[in-house]
Amino acid sequence: MKCAFTGPRPQSLPFRCDDEDPLYDDLTQRLFKEIEALCGQGVLDYYCGMSIGANLLCGEITAALKESYPDIKLHAKISD
């Protein structure tokens, strides 16, 4: 199974990806739990568009989970 990330850029978020904002921390924790659950369900390939905002946040979380789930792969999808 595969997972691809998409989402808003920082200017579209109420907290603009400010890691000091509790809303940003809450979003990060929620995304971490969701992506970790996918890892536990056998999703091995993750695709990140590398845009600042939600894309990179999900990519960073996936990279961090690589230590616990060494078989997962993070693919940077820049363009065709």
pLDDT tens for 50-62 read 888 888 999 999 9
Residue 73 binned pLDDT confidence (cut-offs 50, 70, 90): very high
79 pLDDT above the threshold of 80: no
Residues 72 and 30: beta-carbon distance below 8 Å: no
Domain count, the chain: 1
Residue 75 binned pLDDT confidence (cut-offs 50, 70, 90): very high
* C-alpha span between 36 and 10 (Å, rounded): 23
What's the pLDDT tens digit per position in 28-45? 999 999 999 999 999 999
Say what the pTM is.
Answer: 0.87
> In this predicted structure, what is the pLDDT of residue 80?
64
Residue 20: CATH number of its domain: 3.40.50.450
What residues make up the domain containing 61?
2-76
Task: Give every CB contact of residue 15 below 8 A, 6+ residues apart in sequence.
Answer: 21, 23, 24, 27
